[in-house]
Structure 1
Amino acid sequence: MSIDKMETDEPGFSRDEISFIQTHQYENAGQLMLKAGQFKGLDLKKLAAQIVSRQKAVKKLPEWYSNEKLVFPPALSVEQCSSEATARYKAKLISGGKLVDITGGMGVDSFYLSKSFEKVDYFEQQEVVAETARYNFEQLGVSNIEVHAEDSLNALKNGRITCDWIYADPARRDVNRQKVVKLADCAPDIPSKLDTLFNCAPNILLKTSPLLDIALACSELQCVKDVYTIGYEQECKELLFVLARDFKGDYKINARILDQDGSVRQSLDFDLETERNAAVSYSDPLAYLYEPHPAILKAGAFKTLCEKYGVNKLAANSQLYTSAHLVENFPGRSMKVVAICKPDMREIAQHIGGDKANLTVRNFPAKTDELRKKWKLREGGDFYLFATTLADQSKTVIVTIRAFN
């Protein structure tokens, strides 16, 4: 049974409701709904929705998850909101006297940004969402966030608000819940509202989907000072654009790979000219193989990696790198090469000792699922296979193990 809506007249839960959520927090919400008759006096639909949302938040928002009094929005909203790690990083990136969050939503970013600002104005058009955020901020002990249940752009147009920073996280799905990747297709349409925003603040921090084309977005926005590609765990989670009202130069690109507390584990900064002019060399696989983190790949630091870390590319479009000696601080996965094989399972099996291995496909004329089916390869184990194309256009499979335990 699908649980995708939360209906409640007022934020907050009774002690019995909190106890129910805590008792059943690891259970299947659909199965709980089938047992609704056993729980008289409780709104099982509301509580089951909370359980689903909390299950989505357990790793993404551990601080919020640990607070039993907080009210969570529908699970889709939890999936789309910032993670605690990325929100904490944003709070380290900018600071000042006053910030206006024009797309408040669940309020995760407002909450963490409030730690770096004297005052935060949170705007959200949906009154129920805004009131829930107000309630949650109170439970979290925040006193410097003012909640406004109204259209932020109307408030800014009226000229009654000025601030140091504006934060925006435009909605990235259309009415049919399809993903959109152009800024003009998001709500609000930030490029068309820049005059209004810059009349109220000299600086804007814009969060977008990692699917967005960075160069296209920067041409739409102009006055972009910095672009951040934010990596957490094994994904590029979001893009951040720092806009400055009076900035006229070229933007820098900053890749950041975060730990759970929002601290930076690895970073790489460059600009487009540096990338264009970076020296790049090619070679067949050597003793070690490197796969850049998705946040590094999204940043487009393909040639810069060679120059900064002293590695070679396997091919122009493969985005895999190699070296004779281990580069310990490479921003991504570091692997030790065991063998270089033809794309033939009989040869591969001689090196992995069976039919089980992890598989990555890069610049290779087949998809991962197709190769697994063709080779009857089970997933998992200690070996990592990279199916790719070398500089001479030959197809190969590189058998590796992790360079670090």
Structure 2
Amino acid sequence: MALREHKSLNEILKFVRENEQENPAHLVLRAKQFPDWPIKEIAEQIAARKKAKDKLPEWYNHPEIIFPPALSMEQCSSEATAKFKASLVKGRHFADLSGGFGIDTYYLSQQFDNVIYVEQQTHLCELAAYNFQQLKKNIVIHHQEAAQFLAETGVHFDWIYVDPARRDQNQKKVSRWQDCSPDLTILLPDILNKCENLLVKGAPMLDISQGVEDLKGYVRNVYVLEWKGEVRELLFHLRKEKTTNPSIKAVLLSDDGEVKKHFEANRVEEETSIVHYSMPQKYIFEPSPSLMKSGLFKALAKAFAIQKLHPNTQLFTASDTLKDFPGRSFLLHEIIQVNKKALKKILPDMKVNLSTRNFPMPVADLKKKLGIKDGGEYYIFACTLQDESKRLLLCKKIKNQ
């Protein structure tokens, strides 16, 4: 029996909320204390709620929501990224061809009059139907494969959304469209014949240029979504009219899905922008993870009138601080040789936050060589400079960045 059908569901969900700090594995060992309850499923709910607290706060705070198994919780979008996606779309008719747990369907549905959720896995369809009912959302469920739904539907959609499953037959993570399910390179013509706009979610590890190329010239915009300091997903916006130079947008999101900072350019701008190089000046600038993923380093240098430290060192420098730089800003204190004695003279407690940029030694090995301890208010970038020298840049982070 599915958990949502259990006669004691309300009591079980109350127990889950009251015991969410319990170790799920320890709870399973106490199964004999609850002979009439599905303790394994209850333990899964407790584990899922631990993840949902930060990732899905609205659903976490709803007392009747039931969460899916661990893999679906891992793969589903966060509330922040789902809300951002909802800000991109609007219209009358919408379909999510890879409904899954239903997070994206739920948030994107708020911009449409008619919404269809499509999913081939029975248990996810049933779970989504239950949760949508608790959330009072009128969303039509189709238990089908995406290709079958497209072949049978007579609706022309304003927007279609697809989040292909990124696991192969051996449950290993994959990223290229051809290795995902459904294979967008095959299904793309059928989807574009049924909609005005297509939004596709890609894995953070997907190469952006390859992802665009494999979608055959239909990509108009690429969004690199960063939340809590990590790239969480790539979004590709497609239309039937082809374009050769899509816009690439690095976006830093707040917990509410609002844009905190962003940077936008395209490959032509990146290729034609002239970048200047300099030895370190008063300020050092580190691009955010989404900017690093976008690869728009020359365009960034041009837009902010800053210099790079080296062609392959993705750090920038200037004599003045910057407003709205998409990343972190630092005040440079010292340029130090890669030498334990030289560092200890300037930083006696050897407590510092270390990272490397275009440096021939991994962080762990460099920490050991220098005798560095993690922490403190200082940051060191071990990097290659314009003159090819290897140096340690001792910095302090500028607050409110």
* Aligned-residue offset at 1:191: 1.3
Matches of 1:79 and 1:350 in 2, distance apart? 46
Q: 2:384 aligns with which of 385, 389, 405?
A: 389
Q: Identify the residue that residue 308 of structure 2 maps to in structure 1.
A: 313
Matches of 2:305 and 2:326 in 1, distance apart? 13
Matched, 1:215 2:209: yes
* Aligned-residue offset at 1:159: 4.3
* Aligned-residue offset at 1:262: 0.9
Read off the aligned partner of 1:384 and give its amino acid letter: Y
* Aligned-residue offset at 1:11: 5.4
Matched, 1:186 2:180: yes
- Does structure 1 retain, via aligned residues, the 8 Å contact 2:3–2:41? no
Q: Identify the residue that residue 320 of structure 2 maps to in structure 1.
A: 325
* Aligned-residue offset at 1:276: 1.5
Aligned residues: 398
Matches of 1:235 and 1:281 in 2, distance apart? 28
Q: Identify the residue that residue 63 of structure 1 maps to in structure 2.
A: 58
Q: Identify the residue that residue 176 of structure 1 maps to in structure 2.
A: 170
Query: Comparing 170-179 with 81-90, which one deviates more in the overlay?
Result: 170-179
Matches of 2:20 and 2:4 in 1, distance apart? 21
* Aligned-residue offset at 1:381: 1.5
Q: 1:147 aligns with which of 135, 141, 146?
A: 141
Read off the aligned partner of 2:282 and give its amino acid letter: A
- Does structure 2 retain, via aligned residues, the 8 Å contact 1:286–1:323? yes
Read off the aligned partner of 2:208 and give its amino acid letter: I
Matches of 2:329 and 2:107 in 1, distance apart? 33
- What's the TM-score, normalizing by structure 2? 0.95
Q: 1:352 aligns with which of 347, 358, 362?
A: 347
Q: Identify the residue that residue 337 of structure 1 maps to in structure 2.
A: 332
Matches of 2:2 and 2:338 in 1, distance apart? 57
Deviations 1:22-76 (A, max 9, x none): 1111222112222333344322211110011111111111101111211101122
- Does structure 1 retain, via aligned residues, the 8 Å contact 2:146–2:182? no
Unaligned regions of 5+ residues in structure 2, if any? none
Matches of 2:232 and 2:155 in 1, distance apart? 31
Matches for 1:233-312 after TM superposition, within 5 Å: 233-312=228-307
Matches of 2:117 and 2:395 in 1, distance apart? 49
Read off the aligned partner of 2:177 and give its amino acid letter: L
Matched, 1:160 2:154: yes
Matches of 1:136 and 1:379 in 2, distance apart? 44
Read off the aligned partner of 1:245 and give its amino acid letter: K
- Does structure 2 retain, via aligned residues, the 8 Å contact 1:11–1:71? no
Deviations 1:240-288 (A, max 9, x none): 1111012334211111111111111111111111111222111111111
Q: 2:199 aligns with which of 191, 197, 205?
A: 205
Matches of 1:49 and 1:157 in 2, distance apart? 36
Matches of 1:350 and 1:236 in 2, distance apart? 37
Give the match's secondary structure for 2:361.
Answer: coil
Matches of 2:196 and 2:323 in 1, distance apart? 40
* Aligned-residue offset at 1:321: 0.7
> Which aligned segments of 4 or more residues in structure 1 are displaced greater than 6 angstroms?
none
Give the match's secondary structure for 1:290.
Answer: strand
Q: Identify the residue that residue 3 of structure 1 maps to in structure 2.
A: none
Matches of 1:9 and 1:88 in 2, distance apart? 28
Q: Identify the residue that residue 125 of structure 2 maps to in structure 1.
A: 130
- Does structure 2 retain, via aligned residues, the 8 Å contact 1:351–1:399? no
Give the match's secondary structure for 1:76.
Answer: helix
* Aligned-residue offset at 1:158: 2.5
Give the match's secondary structure for 2:223.
Answer: strand
Unaligned regions of 5+ residues in structure 1, if any? 1-6
Q: Identify the residue that residue 33 of structure 1 maps to in structure 2.
A: 28
- Does structure 2 retain, via aligned residues, the 8 Å contact 1:25–1:54? yes
- Does structure 2 retain, via aligned residues, the 8 Å contact 1:232–1:257? yes
- Does structure 1 retain, via aligned residues, the 8 Å contact 2:118–2:149? no
Give the match's secondary structure for 2:270.
Answer: helix
Q: Identify the residue that residue 4 of structure 1 maps to in structure 2.
A: none
- What's the TM-score, normalizing by structure 1? 0.94
